[in-house]
Amino acid sequence: MRHGPDRRSVILGLAATGALPLTGFADTRQEAAFVSCCKMRDGHFAAAVLDVDAKLIFHENLDGRGHDSAISPDGAAAVVFARRPGRFALVLDLVRRQRQLAFSAPKDRHFQGHGFFSNDGRLLFATENDFGGERGVMGIYDVAADYRRVGEIDTGGIGPHEALLLSDGRTVAIANGGILTHPDFPRQKLNLDTMAPSLVYADLTSGDIVETVSLSPELHQLSIRHMAEDGRGRIWFGGQFEGARSETVPLAGWHERGRDIQLCGAADTVWQAMSNYIGSVAASADGRRIAMSSPRGNTVLIWDCASGRALEQRSIRDVCGLAPMSGAFLSSDGSGGLELDGAPLRAFDELSWDNHIAVLNRARRSG
Protein backbone atom coordinates (compact mmCIF):
# COMPACT_ATOMS: atom_id res chain seq x y z
CA MET A 1 0.00 0.00 0.00
CA ARG A 2 1.18 3.44 -0.88
CA HIS A 3 0.80 6.28 1.54
CA GLY A 4 -0.47 9.76 1.00
CA PRO A 5 0.23 11.41 -2.33
CA ASP A 6 1.29 14.60 -0.62
CA ARG A 7 2.80 14.34 2.80
CA ARG A 8 3.23 18.09 3.03
CA SER A 9 -0.46 18.73 2.74
CA VAL A 10 -0.99 16.15 5.44
CA ILE A 11 1.31 17.97 7.82
CA LEU A 12 -0.14 21.33 6.86
CA GLY A 13 -3.58 19.89 7.41
CA LEU A 14 -2.63 18.79 10.87
CA ALA A 15 -1.12 22.15 11.70
CA ALA A 16 -4.19 23.92 10.39
CA THR A 17 -6.49 21.98 12.66
CA GLY A 18 -4.26 22.52 15.67
CA ALA A 19 -3.46 18.86 16.04
CA LEU A 20 0.20 18.20 16.69
CA PRO A 21 2.20 16.12 14.29
CA LEU A 22 2.29 12.65 15.69
CA THR A 23 5.58 12.55 17.52
CA GLY A 24 6.55 11.08 20.84
CA PHE A 25 4.87 7.74 20.32
CA ALA A 26 7.94 5.87 19.20
CA ASP A 27 7.22 3.16 21.76
CA THR A 28 3.74 2.55 20.38
CA ARG A 29 4.50 2.81 16.66
CA GLN A 30 3.69 -0.30 14.73
CA GLU A 31 1.46 -1.51 17.50
CA ALA A 32 -2.10 -2.02 16.40
CA ALA A 33 -4.39 0.91 17.12
CA PHE A 34 -7.24 0.73 14.60
CA VAL A 35 -9.00 -2.04 12.70
CA SER A 36 -11.21 -1.41 9.70
CA CYS A 37 -12.69 -3.49 6.93
CA CYS A 38 -12.16 -2.45 3.34
CA LYS A 39 -12.77 -3.42 -0.25
CA MET A 40 -9.65 -3.71 -2.42
CA ARG A 41 -9.57 -2.24 -5.90
CA ASP A 42 -9.51 -5.76 -7.42
CA GLY A 43 -12.87 -6.44 -5.77
CA HIS A 44 -11.90 -8.64 -2.83
CA PHE A 45 -12.63 -7.73 0.77
CA ALA A 46 -10.12 -7.43 3.60
CA ALA A 47 -9.59 -6.25 7.17
CA ALA A 48 -6.75 -3.78 7.74
CA VAL A 49 -4.87 -3.04 10.97
CA LEU A 50 -3.34 0.42 11.42
CA ASP A 51 -0.94 1.82 14.02
CA VAL A 52 -1.41 4.96 16.14
CA ASP A 53 -0.29 7.08 13.20
CA ALA A 54 -2.92 5.33 11.04
CA LYS A 55 -0.18 3.65 9.00
CA LEU A 56 -0.93 0.19 7.72
CA ILE A 57 0.61 -2.65 9.72
CA PHE A 58 -1.00 -5.61 7.95
CA HIS A 59 -4.17 -6.76 6.31
CA GLU A 60 -5.94 -10.11 5.92
CA ASN A 61 -8.35 -11.13 3.20
CA LEU A 62 -11.96 -11.87 4.14
CA ASP A 63 -14.40 -14.37 2.60
CA GLY A 64 -16.89 -11.59 1.97
CA ARG A 65 -17.68 -8.05 2.96
CA GLY A 66 -16.88 -7.30 6.62
CA HIS A 67 -18.39 -4.69 8.88
CA ASP A 68 -17.16 -3.78 12.39
CA SER A 69 -14.67 -5.46 14.73
CA ALA A 70 -14.53 -6.22 18.44
CA ILE A 71 -11.19 -5.63 20.17
CA SER A 72 -10.14 -7.78 23.14
CA PRO A 73 -9.52 -5.79 26.34
CA ASP A 74 -5.79 -6.63 26.30
CA GLY A 75 -5.54 -5.43 22.71
CA ALA A 76 -4.14 -8.75 21.53
CA ALA A 77 -7.03 -9.81 19.30
CA ALA A 78 -9.63 -8.33 17.02
CA VAL A 79 -12.69 -10.22 15.82
CA VAL A 80 -13.89 -9.00 12.44
CA PHE A 81 -17.58 -9.67 11.78
CA ALA A 82 -19.19 -10.33 8.42
CA ARG A 83 -21.61 -7.72 7.20
CA ARG A 84 -25.19 -8.90 7.49
CA PRO A 85 -26.40 -11.38 6.35
CA GLY A 86 -22.91 -12.96 6.48
CA ARG A 87 -22.00 -15.73 8.90
CA PHE A 88 -18.19 -15.57 9.09
CA ALA A 89 -16.03 -14.05 11.82
CA LEU A 90 -12.26 -13.78 11.58
CA VAL A 91 -10.00 -13.47 14.62
CA LEU A 92 -6.86 -11.41 14.01
CA ASP A 93 -3.82 -11.82 16.24
CA LEU A 94 -2.77 -8.20 16.61
CA VAL A 95 0.57 -9.09 18.21
CA ARG A 96 1.74 -11.63 15.63
CA ARG A 97 0.08 -9.58 12.90
CA GLN A 98 -1.78 -12.44 11.27
CA ARG A 99 -5.07 -14.29 11.20
CA GLN A 100 -5.61 -16.54 14.19
CA LEU A 101 -8.79 -18.46 13.42
CA ALA A 102 -12.16 -18.17 11.77
CA PHE A 103 -15.56 -19.21 13.12
CA SER A 104 -19.19 -18.93 11.99
CA ALA A 105 -22.57 -18.00 13.31
CA PRO A 106 -24.85 -21.05 13.60
CA LYS A 107 -26.92 -22.05 10.56
CA ASP A 108 -30.09 -20.41 11.80
CA ARG A 109 -28.42 -17.12 12.76
CA HIS A 110 -26.36 -14.57 10.90
CA PHE A 111 -24.15 -11.80 12.21
CA GLN A 112 -25.39 -8.23 12.17
CA GLY A 113 -21.83 -6.88 11.95
CA HIS A 114 -21.13 -5.64 15.49
CA GLY A 115 -20.00 -7.07 18.81
CA PHE A 116 -17.73 -6.66 21.83
CA PHE A 117 -15.68 -8.58 24.40
CA SER A 118 -16.55 -8.88 28.08
CA ASN A 119 -14.26 -6.84 30.31
CA ASP A 120 -12.35 -9.93 31.43
CA GLY A 121 -11.82 -10.89 27.79
CA ARG A 122 -13.29 -14.36 28.27
CA LEU A 123 -16.49 -13.94 26.28
CA LEU A 124 -17.30 -12.40 22.93
CA PHE A 125 -20.80 -11.07 22.24
CA ALA A 126 -22.12 -10.58 18.71
CA THR A 127 -25.40 -9.10 17.53
CA GLU A 128 -27.21 -11.69 15.42
CA ASN A 129 -30.47 -12.19 13.56
CA ASP A 130 -32.61 -15.19 14.52
CA PHE A 131 -34.36 -14.96 11.17
CA GLY A 132 -36.60 -17.98 11.71
CA GLY A 133 -37.82 -16.61 15.02
CA GLU A 134 -37.85 -13.02 13.69
CA ARG A 135 -36.06 -11.69 16.75
CA GLY A 136 -32.67 -10.28 17.59
CA VAL A 137 -30.14 -12.05 19.78
CA MET A 138 -26.63 -11.54 21.03
CA GLY A 139 -24.61 -14.70 20.52
CA ILE A 140 -22.12 -15.52 23.29
CA TYR A 141 -18.80 -17.10 22.32
CA ASP A 142 -16.19 -18.66 24.64
CA VAL A 143 -12.86 -17.14 23.66
CA ALA A 144 -10.68 -19.82 25.31
CA ALA A 145 -12.61 -22.60 23.54
CA ASP A 146 -11.74 -21.26 20.08
CA TYR A 147 -14.83 -19.07 20.13
CA ARG A 148 -17.30 -21.87 20.63
CA ARG A 149 -20.84 -20.53 20.87
CA VAL A 150 -22.09 -21.08 24.41
CA GLY A 151 -25.40 -19.24 24.48
CA GLU A 152 -27.37 -16.19 23.51
CA ILE A 153 -29.35 -13.31 24.96
CA ASP A 154 -32.60 -11.99 23.49
CA THR A 155 -32.22 -8.35 22.47
CA GLY A 156 -35.91 -7.57 22.94
CA GLY A 157 -36.38 -6.36 19.39
CA ILE A 158 -35.96 -7.01 15.69
CA GLY A 159 -32.79 -6.23 13.73
CA PRO A 160 -30.22 -5.51 16.46
CA HIS A 161 -27.26 -3.66 15.02
CA GLU A 162 -24.56 -2.06 17.17
CA ALA A 163 -24.21 -3.18 20.80
CA LEU A 164 -21.92 -1.45 23.30
CA LEU A 165 -20.55 -2.62 26.60
CA LEU A 166 -21.00 0.39 28.87
CA SER A 167 -18.34 1.74 31.19
CA ASP A 168 -19.85 -0.09 34.19
CA GLY A 169 -18.56 -3.26 32.55
CA ARG A 170 -21.82 -5.20 32.93
CA THR A 171 -24.58 -3.33 31.11
CA VAL A 172 -24.87 -3.52 27.36
CA ALA A 173 -26.74 -1.02 25.23
CA ILE A 174 -28.28 -2.57 22.11
CA ALA A 175 -29.67 -0.68 19.13
CA ASN A 176 -32.59 -2.70 17.78
CA GLY A 177 -32.90 -1.15 14.34
CA GLY A 178 -36.41 -2.58 14.00
CA ILE A 179 -36.03 -3.72 10.40
CA LEU A 180 -37.01 -7.31 9.64
CA THR A 181 -34.79 -9.09 7.13
CA HIS A 182 -34.44 -12.70 6.05
CA PRO A 183 -31.52 -14.27 4.14
CA ASP A 184 -34.02 -15.65 1.61
CA PHE A 185 -34.48 -12.05 0.48
CA PRO A 186 -30.97 -10.67 0.92
CA ARG A 187 -30.99 -7.19 2.46
CA GLN A 188 -34.64 -6.56 1.53
CA LYS A 189 -36.45 -4.68 4.28
CA LEU A 190 -39.58 -6.68 5.01
CA ASN A 191 -41.52 -4.57 7.52
CA LEU A 192 -41.05 -0.87 6.81
CA ASP A 193 -44.75 -0.33 7.48
CA THR A 194 -44.67 -1.78 10.99
CA MET A 195 -41.05 -1.36 12.12
CA ALA A 196 -40.54 -0.52 15.80
CA PRO A 197 -36.92 0.30 16.68
CA SER A 198 -35.78 0.45 20.29
CA LEU A 199 -32.79 1.07 22.52
CA VAL A 200 -32.46 -1.74 25.01
CA TYR A 201 -30.20 -2.18 28.04
CA ALA A 202 -29.38 -5.70 29.11
CA ASP A 203 -27.49 -6.96 32.13
CA LEU A 204 -24.75 -9.24 30.87
CA THR A 205 -24.47 -11.27 34.06
CA SER A 206 -28.15 -12.22 34.13
CA GLY A 207 -29.07 -11.76 30.48
CA ASP A 208 -32.10 -9.74 31.61
CA ILE A 209 -33.33 -6.68 29.79
CA VAL A 210 -33.26 -3.91 32.37
CA GLU A 211 -34.62 -0.99 30.35
CA THR A 212 -36.25 -0.43 26.96
CA VAL A 213 -36.86 2.93 25.38
CA SER A 214 -38.31 3.78 22.00
CA LEU A 215 -39.09 6.75 19.83
CA SER A 216 -42.46 8.44 19.52
CA PRO A 217 -44.85 6.75 17.03
CA GLU A 218 -44.32 9.32 14.27
CA LEU A 219 -40.63 8.37 14.25
CA HIS A 220 -41.23 4.60 14.12
CA GLN A 221 -39.39 4.50 10.79
CA LEU A 222 -36.19 5.94 12.30
CA SER A 223 -34.00 2.85 12.61
CA ILE A 224 -31.70 3.23 15.65
CA ARG A 225 -28.45 1.62 14.52
CA HIS A 226 -25.21 3.10 15.83
CA MET A 227 -24.23 4.43 19.24
CA ALA A 228 -21.48 5.77 21.46
CA GLU A 229 -21.28 6.41 25.21
CA ASP A 230 -20.27 9.90 26.32
CA GLY A 231 -18.21 10.82 29.40
CA ARG A 232 -21.37 11.07 31.52
CA GLY A 233 -22.58 7.61 30.65
CA ARG A 234 -25.28 8.78 28.24
CA ILE A 235 -25.87 6.88 25.03
CA TRP A 236 -25.83 8.90 21.82
CA PHE A 237 -27.41 7.26 18.82
CA GLY A 238 -27.60 7.96 15.11
CA GLY A 239 -30.47 6.63 13.04
CA GLN A 240 -31.45 5.91 9.48
CA PHE A 241 -34.86 7.15 8.41
CA GLU A 242 -36.80 4.73 6.21
CA GLY A 243 -39.61 7.13 5.33
CA ALA A 244 -39.62 9.50 2.38
CA ARG A 245 -36.34 11.24 1.74
CA SER A 246 -38.24 14.47 1.31
CA GLU A 247 -39.17 14.37 4.98
CA THR A 248 -36.75 16.02 7.34
CA VAL A 249 -36.62 14.40 10.77
CA PRO A 250 -34.13 14.55 13.64
CA LEU A 251 -31.79 11.63 13.00
CA ALA A 252 -29.94 11.54 16.30
CA GLY A 253 -30.47 11.76 20.02
CA TRP A 254 -29.20 10.71 23.39
CA HIS A 255 -30.51 8.74 26.29
CA GLU A 256 -29.78 8.82 29.97
CA ARG A 257 -30.82 5.74 31.95
CA GLY A 258 -34.24 6.06 33.53
CA ARG A 259 -35.32 8.96 31.37
CA ASP A 260 -36.94 9.49 27.99
CA ILE A 261 -34.97 9.67 24.76
CA GLN A 262 -33.95 13.22 23.87
CA LEU A 263 -33.75 14.07 20.20
CA CYS A 264 -30.90 16.32 19.10
CA GLY A 265 -32.03 19.77 18.11
CA ALA A 266 -30.58 21.14 14.91
CA ALA A 267 -31.69 23.23 11.94
CA ASP A 268 -33.44 21.40 9.10
CA THR A 269 -30.45 22.20 6.90
CA VAL A 270 -28.21 20.21 9.24
CA TRP A 271 -30.46 17.14 9.03
CA GLN A 272 -30.82 17.57 5.29
CA ALA A 273 -27.03 17.48 5.02
CA MET A 274 -27.16 14.04 6.64
CA SER A 275 -29.55 12.72 3.92
CA ASN A 276 -31.72 10.75 6.39
CA TYR A 277 -28.79 8.45 7.06
CA ILE A 278 -26.19 8.23 9.82
CA GLY A 279 -23.65 5.49 9.18
CA SER A 280 -21.37 5.62 12.19
CA VAL A 281 -21.18 7.22 15.65
CA ALA A 282 -18.08 7.71 17.85
CA ALA A 283 -17.22 9.53 21.09
CA SER A 284 -14.08 11.62 21.52
CA ALA A 285 -11.42 10.27 23.86
CA ASP A 286 -12.48 12.69 26.61
CA GLY A 287 -16.15 11.80 26.15
CA ARG A 288 -17.14 15.41 25.57
CA ARG A 289 -17.88 15.29 21.87
CA ILE A 290 -19.72 12.89 19.61
CA ALA A 291 -19.10 12.52 15.90
CA MET A 292 -21.69 11.16 13.45
CA SER A 293 -21.09 10.47 9.77
CA SER A 294 -23.32 10.42 6.73
CA PRO A 295 -21.79 8.84 3.63
CA ARG A 296 -24.94 9.71 1.67
CA GLY A 297 -24.69 13.34 2.74
CA ASN A 298 -20.86 13.40 2.58
CA THR A 299 -20.90 14.98 6.02
CA VAL A 300 -19.49 14.52 9.52
CA LEU A 301 -21.37 16.25 12.30
CA ILE A 302 -19.76 16.96 15.69
CA TRP A 303 -21.93 17.38 18.78
CA ASP A 304 -21.03 18.99 22.07
CA CYS A 305 -22.25 16.60 24.75
CA ALA A 306 -22.73 19.18 27.48
CA SER A 307 -24.96 21.53 25.50
CA GLY A 308 -26.40 18.97 23.06
CA ARG A 309 -25.64 21.37 20.23
CA ALA A 310 -24.07 20.70 16.87
CA LEU A 311 -20.58 22.21 17.00
CA GLU A 312 -19.28 21.62 13.54
CA GLN A 313 -20.20 20.16 10.18
CA ARG A 314 -17.47 18.82 7.90
CA SER A 315 -17.76 17.88 4.29
CA ILE A 316 -15.97 14.65 3.29
CA ARG A 317 -16.99 12.63 0.26
CA ASP A 318 -18.44 9.17 1.08
CA VAL A 319 -17.24 9.39 4.68
CA CYS A 320 -18.35 6.73 7.12
CA GLY A 321 -15.81 5.24 9.58
CA LEU A 322 -15.14 7.24 12.74
CA ALA A 323 -12.85 6.76 15.73
CA PRO A 324 -11.25 8.92 18.41
CA MET A 325 -7.59 9.65 17.64
CA SER A 326 -5.18 11.86 19.56
CA GLY A 327 -7.87 14.15 20.93
CA ALA A 328 -9.45 14.44 17.51
CA PHE A 329 -11.65 12.30 15.27
CA LEU A 330 -10.24 9.97 12.66
CA SER A 331 -12.57 9.40 9.73
CA SER A 332 -12.39 7.10 6.71
CA ASP A 333 -14.00 7.27 3.30
CA GLY A 334 -14.87 5.15 0.30
CA SER A 335 -11.99 6.50 -1.78
CA GLY A 336 -9.39 5.14 0.65
CA GLY A 337 -8.80 8.44 2.44
CA LEU A 338 -8.29 8.90 6.16
CA GLU A 339 -8.85 12.31 7.69
CA LEU A 340 -8.05 13.76 11.09
CA ASP A 341 -10.65 16.32 12.15
CA GLY A 342 -11.53 16.70 8.49
CA ALA A 343 -7.97 17.31 7.22
CA PRO A 344 -6.45 14.68 4.91
CA LEU A 345 -4.16 12.37 6.85
CA ARG A 346 -3.46 9.42 4.57
CA ALA A 347 -4.60 8.14 1.20
CA PHE A 348 -4.80 4.46 0.34
CA ASP A 349 -5.47 4.57 -3.37
CA GLU A 350 -6.02 0.87 -3.84
CA LEU A 351 -8.94 0.41 -1.47
CA SER A 352 -12.26 1.73 -0.19
CA TRP A 353 -12.68 1.93 3.56
CA ASP A 354 -15.82 0.23 4.79
CA ASN A 355 -18.34 1.58 7.32
CA HIS A 356 -16.49 1.36 10.65
CA ILE A 357 -13.17 1.84 12.44
CA ALA A 358 -12.67 -0.10 15.68
CA VAL A 359 -10.22 1.51 18.07
CA LEU A 360 -7.82 0.07 20.65
CA ASN A 361 -7.50 1.72 24.02
CA ARG A 362 -3.93 2.81 23.34
CA ALA A 363 -5.12 4.97 20.45
CA ARG A 364 -7.88 6.43 22.58
CA ARG A 365 -5.39 7.32 25.29
CA SER A 366 -2.77 8.77 23.04
CA GLY A 367 -4.57 12.10 23.04
Partner 1 sequence: MIFRTILAIAIALAAMVSLSRADEDRAGVISQTIDEVIVAGYSALQERAKDQERAISALCSAPSPALLETARAAFNETVRSWSRVEMFRFGPARTDYRFERMFYWPDRKGRGLQQVQAILAEKDETATSLETLQQKSVAVQGLTSLEFALFGTGSEELLEAGGYRCRYADAVAQAIHEVSGEFVSAWQSAGGHAALMRDPGGHNPLYKTEAEVLQALIQAAREQLEIVGDIKIKTAIGETPDDAHPKRAPFWRSGDTIASLRANIAGVQALFTGHLDLLLGDDPASIANGLAFELSQADAALASLEQLNRSWEDLVSDPETHGKLVYALIPLHGAKETVSERYPEALGLVLGFNSLDGD
Among 266, 268, 275, smallest CA distance to 242 is for 275
272 binds partner 1 (CB under 8 A): yes
How many Å apart are CA 125 and CA 33, to the nearest integer? 21
246 binds partner 1 (CB under 8 A): yes
Segment 57 to 96, residues that bind partner 1, using CB under 8 A: 67, 83-84
223 binds partner 1 (CB under 8 A): no
- In angstroms, what is the minimal distance from the CB of 173 to partner 1? 18
Of 247 and 304, CB closest to partner 1: 247
- In angstroms, what is the minimal distance from the CB of 187 to partner 1? 8
All residues at 6 or more sequence positions from 246 whose CB lies less than 8 Å from its CB, including other chains: none
- In angstroms, what is the minimal distance from the CB of 272 to partner 1? 5
- Paired with 293 in beta bridges are 280, 300
240 binds partner 1 (CB under 8 A): yes
How many Å apart are CA 221 and CA 60, to the nearest integer? 37
218 binds partner 1 (CB under 8 A): no
53 binds partner 1 (CB under 8 A): no
Q: Please give the C-alpha separations between residue 340 and each of 153, 328, 332, in angstroms, as whole numbers.
A: 37, 7, 9
Burial class (CB in 10 A: 0-12, 13-18, 19+), 203: middle
Of 19 and 160, CB closest to partner 1: 160
- In angstroms, what is the minimal distance from the CB of 180 to partner 1? 7
Among 316, 318, 317, 340, smallest CA distance to 328 is for 340
Rule CB under 8 A: choose which of 243, 287, 308, 327 binds partner 1.
Answer: 243
- In angstroms, what is the minimal distance from the CB of 355 to partner 1? 6
Name the segment binding partner 1 (CB under 8 A); options: 7-15, 46-54, 304-312, 315-323: 315-323
**What string of DSSP letters covers 246-262?**
T-----EEEE-TTS--E
Of 60 and 354, CB closest to partner 1: 354
Compute how many residues bind partner 1; rule: CB under 8 A: 42
How many Å apart are CA 125 and CA 131, to the nearest integer? 18
- In angstroms, what is the minimal distance from the CB of 193 to partner 1? 5
Three-state secondary structure call for residue 20: coil
Rule CB under 8 A: choose which of 18, 24, 186, 258 binds partner 1.
Answer: 186
- In angstroms, what is the minimal distance from the CB of 110 to partner 1? 13
- In angstroms, what is the minimal distance from the CB of 338 to partner 1? 14
How many Å apart are CA 345 and CA 333, to the nearest integer? 12
Residue span 316-345 as binding mask against partner 1, x where in contact by CB under 8 A, dash where not: -xxxx------------xxx----------
Strands (E), 94-205: 98-104, 110-117, 123-130, 135-142, 148-154, 160-165, 171-176, 198-203
Segment 282 to 301, residues that bind partner 1, using CB under 8 A: 295-296, 298
Rule CB under 8 A: choose which of 30, 167, 188, 315 binds partner 1.
Answer: 188
Q: Please give the C-alpha separations between residue 172 and each of 74, 93, 111, 208, in angstroms, as whole numbers.
A: 19, 25, 17, 10
Among 295, 281, 189, smallest CA distance to 234 is for 281
How many Å apart are CA 71 and CA 68, to the nearest integer? 10
313 binds partner 1 (CB under 8 A): no
Residue span 14-43 as binding mask against partner 1, x where in contact by CB under 8 A, dash where not: -------------------------x----
279 binds partner 1 (CB under 8 A): yes
| Three-state SS letters, 292-355 | EEECCCCEEEEEECCCCEEEEEEECCCEEEEEEECCEEEEEECCCEEEECCEEEEECCCEEEEE
- Residues lying near partner 1 in the complex (CB under 8 A): 39, 67, 83-84, 113, 161, 180, 182, 184-188, 190, 192-193, 225, 240, 242-248, 272, 277, 279, 295-296, 298, 317-320, 333-335, 352-355
